[in-house]
């Protein structure tokens, strides 16, 4: 994907475009471009198989760990390395391409509220960007997709820091957070996937897609984890009660109900709360209200942490980063019970 981004002219973080096979390659890269660096699984995602290395003497252990994790989760252990930015936001672009060479970008999303490199809260469009930057990201994403003749729904991820953005990776699928794009555009992305797969042309031009955007969307991932003290420890078990919120601008996508068991062996996502508001402040307030109405008993959930994130002034001011939850947000007094 990095090679495709280069062909499409997208700016990329300094990194390797070939697999690295030795600790010395990583050490040489870090000495040239500066520490820290990130070792990443070439065929992975979701933060798994990724290790941040702060000095040359940490490389071998981190490399071995990244390869083991990559092999366990993805069946392959190839890795690459890139510069690791210290306070970035995660901004991504939802796009769709057809088999006739047409590609449109539908919206941006901010997915910076994360723990362990995995997303907790996503919103669309990405707030607080300098004038013209959202359009530049969208155009860069489209160029990268066209460079490889891509068709289907897909997401191009960027990291944004100091008013610059860099290509991170492309996810060639419909992502977990796609509903926040749907609620601000009214576009059914799954329907578009089916139409594209059947050979149809995209039903809208870029200008028509842009005209559909309205308001602000927020998605909260409800995971079976105990966020007490900011540890986010897995909480497998049987859900004894599950009551979801409803109301105007509120949607819940989930596959569990009372009596179901959250396994320790699989992803612990219980469901996704998606909320629309006429503006960002309204969407935040409505999301907090919906979280207050939600009841899940039998397992711990991330709901208390989600409330803390959404109510924090840093989130309101869009000064948070992908490291903010773990390094800045104070969850030391956060308590959680299996009835939260």
Among 83, 118, 138, give the residue marking a domain's end.
83
Q: Which pLDDT value is given to residue 2?
A: 73
Same domain membership, residue 191 and residue 151:
yes
CA separation, residue 176 to residues 120, 140, 182, 215, 296 (Å): 11, 22, 12, 20, 21
Q: Which pLDDT value is given to residue 339?
A: 58
Question: Peptide bond before 338: cis, by omega within 30 degrees of 0?
Answer: no
Encoded tokens for 84: 């690791």
Q: Residue 333 falls within a domain, yes or no?
A: no
| Sign of the Cα pseudo-torsion (172, 173, 177, 181, in order) | positive
Same domain membership, residue 156 and residue 67:
no
Q: Residue 33 falls within a domain, yes or no?
A: yes
Output the domain CATH number for residue 7: 3.30.1490.20
Full residue range of the structural domain in which residue 111 is found: 89-212
- CA pair distance 93, 88, nearest whole angstrom: 16
For the entire predicted model, the pTM comes to: 0.84
Q: Residue 54 falls within a domain, yes or no?
A: yes
Q: Which pLDDT value is given to residue 3?
A: 76
> Nearest Cα to 144, choosing from 3, 13, 4?
4
Q: Which pLDDT value is given to residue 1?
A: 72
- CA pair distance 314, 324, nearest whole angstrom: 9
Q: Residue 332 falls within a domain, yes or no?
A: no
Output the domain CATH number for residue 199: 3.30.470.20
Q: Which pLDDT value is given to residue 336?
A: 67
Question: Peptide bond before 36: cis, by omega within 30 degrees of 0?
Answer: yes
Asked whether 181 and 94 are in contact (CB, 8 A), the reply is: yes
Q: Which pLDDT value is given to residue 290?
A: 98
Same domain membership, residue 208 and residue 97:
yes
Neighbour count for residue 229 (Cβ, 10 Å): 13
- Count structural domains, the chain: 3
Q: Residue 336 falls within a domain, yes or no?
A: no
Q: Which pLDDT value is given to residue 48?
A: 87
Q: Mean pLDDT across the chain, nearest whole number?
A: 95
Q: Residue 77 falls within a domain, yes or no?
A: yes
Query: What does the DSSP 8-state code read for residue 279?
Result: S
Q: Which pLDDT value is given to residue 17?
A: 86
- CA pair distance 244, 262, nearest whole angstrom: 17
> What tens digit of pLDDT does each residue of 93-122 get?
999 999 999 999 999 999 999 999 999 999
> What tens digit of pLDDT does each residue of 118-169 get?
999 999 999 999 999 999 999 999 999 999 999 999 999 999 998 999 998 8
Q: Residue 27 falls within a domain, yes or no?
A: yes
Q: What is the pLDDT along the chain (340 residues), one digit of tens a residue?
A: 777 777 778 888 889 989 999 999 999 999 999 899 999 999 987 788 999 999 999 999 999 999 999 999 999 999 999 999 889 999 999 999 999 999 999 999 999 999 999 999 999 999 999 999 999 999 999 999 999 999 999 999 999 998 999 998 899 999 999 999 999 999 999 999 999 999 999 999 999 999 999 999 999 999 999 999 999 999 999 999 999 999 999 999 999 999 999 999 999 999 999 999 999 999 999 999 999 999 999 999 999 999 999 999 999 999 999 999 999 999 998 876 665 4
- CA pair distance 179, 107, nearest whole angstrom: 11
Among 171, 186, 212, give the residue marking a domain's end.
212
Residue 205 burial (CB < 10 Å; 0-12/13-18/19+)?
A: exposed
Among 212, 234, 261, give the residue marking a domain's end.
212
Residues known to be catalytic: 173
């Amino acid at each position: 994907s990095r090679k495709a981004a280069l062909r499409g002219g997208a700016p990329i973080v300094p990194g390797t475009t070939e697999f690295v096979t030795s600790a010395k390659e990583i050490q040489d890269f870090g000495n040239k471009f500066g520490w820290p660096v990130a070792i990443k699984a070439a065929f992975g995602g979701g933060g798994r198989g990724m290790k941040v290395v702060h000095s040359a003497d940490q490389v071998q252990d981190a490399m071995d760990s990244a390869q083991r994790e990559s092999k366990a989760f993805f069946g392959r252990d190839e890795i690459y390395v890139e510069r690791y930015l210290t306070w970035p936001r995660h901004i991504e672009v939802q796009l769709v391409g057809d088999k006739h060479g047409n590609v449109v970008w539908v919206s941006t999303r901010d997915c910076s509220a994360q723990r362990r490199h995995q997303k907790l809260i996503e919103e669309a469009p990405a707030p607080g960007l300098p004038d013209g930057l959202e359009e530049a990201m969208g155009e860069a994403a489209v160029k990268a997709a066209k460079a490889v003749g891509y068709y289907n729904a897909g997401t191009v991820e960027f990291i944004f820091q100091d008013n610059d953005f860099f290509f991170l990776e492309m996810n060639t699928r419909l992502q977990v957070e796609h509903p926040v794009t749907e609620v601000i555009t009214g576009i059914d992305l799954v329907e578009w996937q089916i139409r594209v797969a059947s050979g149809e042309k995209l039903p809208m031009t870029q200008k028509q897609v842009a005209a559909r955007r309205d308001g602000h969307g927020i998605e909260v991932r409800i995971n079976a984890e105990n966020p007490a003290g900011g540890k986010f420890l897995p909480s497998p078990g049987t859900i004894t009660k599950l009551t979801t919120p409803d109301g105007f601008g509120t949607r819940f996508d989930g596959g569990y109900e009372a009596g179901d068991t959250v396994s320790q062996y699989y992803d612990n996502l219980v469901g996704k709360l998606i909320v629309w508001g006429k503006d960002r402040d309204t969407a935040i307030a409505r999301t907090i209200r919906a979280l207050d109405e939600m009841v899940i008993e039998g397992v711990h959930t991330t709901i208390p942490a989600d409330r803390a994130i959404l109510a924090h002034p840093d989130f309101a001011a869009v000064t948070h980063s992908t490291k903010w939850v773990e390094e800045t947000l104070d969850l030391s007094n956060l308590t959680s019970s299996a009835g939260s």
